[in-house]
Amino acid sequence: MAVKQRVELGILDETVRVGEHIAYFWEDEKEFVRGVNFLAVGLRGNDHGVIFGHEDANEKVLETLRGQGIAVDDLLASGRLTVLGGASAGDKMLATIGACFQKAVDGGCDLIRLLGNIGWGHPDWPGQEDILAFEAKVTGAAKAFPCVVLCMYDVDSLPGRVMVHGAFETHPLTFCRNVLRENPYFVDVDEFKKGMPAATL
């Protein structure tokens, strides 16, 4: 991408550069809905939206969008909104997302917004180490497309190890308690791999 322009995040009055990978921490229903507005603001314009996550979360996101007045069924039918679930391996999930993004770009899309709710510990999803490796690779992959990726982290339900390694170490930006900030705990993928079991890489 020749120019890293800034785009509206859809949360408070924040803007971010295209290609960013953000961890969004939420603790209550109000914060969840606010996170989904990241998608809603793009869908009200001309952006392509991708909902990626486990089944319950994806349904909750769809219902939240409907509650915000988004014509979900029309967007799904037209191909401007895509819903993706998990897979048995992190690299397979990354390939599926990449193919989805490429299809949107080939169709003339200027910006893709992906909202993620990863299925940590869910059946038919990879194990924790594989998902951690997947998250580490997303940052680099996002820079290859005109996209912004926002991963939602449920503070009340996810274990500390997931928060440290999955959220803080793999996302260059974090959004927590009404503040978007550069993440001092982020490590690049090569450094991250040094602490991962070889089988997951």
Q: Is residue 66 part of a domain?
A: yes
Question: How far is the C-alpha of 178 from the C-alpha of 175, rounded, in Å?
Answer: 7
Q: Does the structure show a pLDDT above 50 at 201? A: no
Question: How far is the C-alpha of 75 from the C-alpha of 113, rounded, in Å?
Answer: 14
Q: Is residue 153 part of a domain?
A: yes
Q: Is residue 5 part of a domain?
A: no
pLDDT of residue 133: 87
Question: How far is the C-alpha of 11 from the C-alpha of 14, rounded, in Å?
Answer: 6
CB–CB of 101/141 below 8 Å? Answer: no
Question: How far is the C-alpha of 22 from the C-alpha of 9, rounded, in Å?
Answer: 10
Q: How many CA atoms lie within 13 A of 197 on its CB side?
A: 8
CATH of the domain at 162: 3.40.50.300
Grade residue 129 by pLDDT with cuts at 50, 70 and 90: confident
Q: Is residue 2 part of a domain?
A: no
Question: What 3-state class would DSSP assign to 36?
Answer: helix
pLDDT of residue 193: 67
What are the tokens at 148? 């912004």
Q: Average pLDDT, stretch 72-86?
A: 98
Q: Is residue 1 part of a domain?
A: no
Poorest-pLDDT segment among 82-86, 94-98, 121-125: 121-125
Backbone angles phi, psi at 4, to 5 degrees: -95, 80
pLDDT of residue 197: 52
Question: How far is the C-alpha of 170 from the C-alpha of 186, rounded, in Å?
Answer: 6
Which structural domain, as residue segments, surrounds residue 77? 22-200
Q: Is residue 137 part of a domain?
A: yes
Question: How far is the C-alpha of 169 from the C-alpha of 74, rounded, in Å?
Answer: 37
Grade residue 181 by pLDDT with cuts at 50, 70 and 90: very high
Q: Is residue 31 part of a domain?
A: yes
Domain count, the chain: 1
Amino acid (1-letter code) at residue 6: R
Q: pTM score, two decimals? A: 0.91
Q: Is residue 4 part of a domain?
A: no
Neighbours of 77 (CB within 10 A): 10
Question: What 3-state class would DSSP assign to 25?
Answer: strand
Please name which of 50, 54, 30 lies closest in space to residue 39, comparing C-alpha atoms: 50
Q: Does the structure show a pLDDT above 90 at 192? A: no
Q: Does the structure show a pLDDT above 80 at 200? A: no
DSSP letter, residue 93: H
